[in-house]
Amino acid sequence: MTEGSAEQSLSAGRTEDLGSGVLSVTAENPGPLTLDGTRTWIVGTAVVAIVDPGPDDPAHLDRVARAVNGRDVAAVCLTHAHIDHSAASASAVERWGRLYASAETLARIGVDGTPLRDGDEIVLDERAGGLVLHALETPGHSGDHLAFMLLPTRDVLTGDLVLGRGSSMVAHPDGSVGAYLASLARLGSLRPRRLLPGHGPVVGDAAARLAEYAAHRRERSSQVQAALEAGARSVSELRDAVYGDIPPGVVQAAELSLLAHLEHLEELGYRAPWPSDRSGDRR
């Protein structure tokens, strides 16, 4: 199956039924880093969980409420603290109840909730073979990141670990290329059926996309190393060598990604003259 035929796309504000007890509502916050917008996932049948309530937009939460359609909500869950996924958390808790996220995510957003650790489960259907939301610690895009595997379907809500289109951002200092690669490898070992991303189309060929993402990160590290060996001595010189001419709106994201790759090369034992403007304070 080709990548294109394995994917489905959504437009901002649209609700779509993906089957197997999965609904998606796309927020109206499109942009270079959010693609069509942030996806809020509603999983379950009679009892549901809401994953990533999204930006602080009452109209979006109203659309989520219509998709919930009066069903019991067992949990509001977060993959991570970035505001395009979490800003509506307090409002969602007021509507539907308890928040579940990693302890670090809860600390970052300052909202009370139940901390989730790797392997924790939220049972949505207590019948034999019923739907369960299984938490997976998947740092790399951010230090607090979780993904959620739906059992028994083996669909994975990937947050920003894997996007439906393009590559995910791994930005210094919170992002870690080494941790990101480990999270991709771990997810691949679980043999997911579909990847349900926080942005962009659903990914039908999960194994191929995970392999593509890992190869992309390794290639980027090789490009950074080659640029250093060719004489790049500043982050801007690295940016020009690796990315070329890019829109002004993504310059900072590109530079923070390069800093994360520099750190990864250092972790691997690579020794080279580092850019003089490398700093953990760049945000």
Tens-digit pLDDT profile for residues 107-122: 999 999 999 999 999 9
Q: Point out which residues pair with 49 in neighbouring strands.
A: 43, 75
Which structure tokens are listed for 264?
A: 């990864």
The predicted structure's pLDDT at residue 7: 39
> Of 3.60.15.10, 3.40.50.1820, 3.40.30.10, 3.40.50.720, which CATH number belongs to 4-205?
3.60.15.10
- Which comes out higher in pLDDT, residue 226 or 2? 226
Q: What is the pLDDT of residue 280?
A: 40
Question: Residue 128: pLDDT band by 50, 70, 90 thresholds?
Answer: confident
Give me the DSSP letters along 130-148.
--EEEEEE--SSSTT-EEE
Which pLDDT score, from 0 to 100, does residue 70 have?
95
What confidence score (pLDDT) does residue 144 get? 98
CA angle 163, 167, 171 (to 5 degrees): 105
pLDDT value of residue 150: 97
Predicted pLDDT of residue 3: 28
Write the pLDDT tens digit of every residue in 198-245. Answer: 999 999 999 999 999 999 999 999 999 999 999 998 899 999 999 999
The per-residue pLDDT for 14 is: 87
Mean pLDDT of 50-69: 97
Does the pLDDT of residue 276 top 90, yes or no?
no
Q: How much is the pLDDT for 272?
A: 66
Starting from the edge strand earliest in sequence, which strands make up the sheet with 155-159, in order? 121-123, 132-137, 146-151, 155-159, 195-197
* Residue 31 β-bridge partners: 35
Q: Is the pLDDT confidence value at 160 over 50?
A: yes
Q: What is the pTM of this model?
A: 0.90
DSSP 202: B
Distance (Å, rounded) from C-alpha 277 to C-alpha 41?
40
For 171, 207, 222, the CA distances from 261, given in Å and listed in that order, are: 9, 24, 9
Mean pLDDT, residues 143-162: 98
Residue 23's pLDDT band (boundaries 50, 70, 90)? Answer: very high
Q: How far is CA 105 from CA 5, 50, 66, 110, 183, in A?
A: 35, 16, 27, 8, 17
Please tell me the predicted confidence (pLDDT) of residue 1: 20
**Which pLDDT belongs to residue 275?**
63
Mean pLDDT value of segment 141-152: 98
pLDDT, mean of residues 41-47: 96
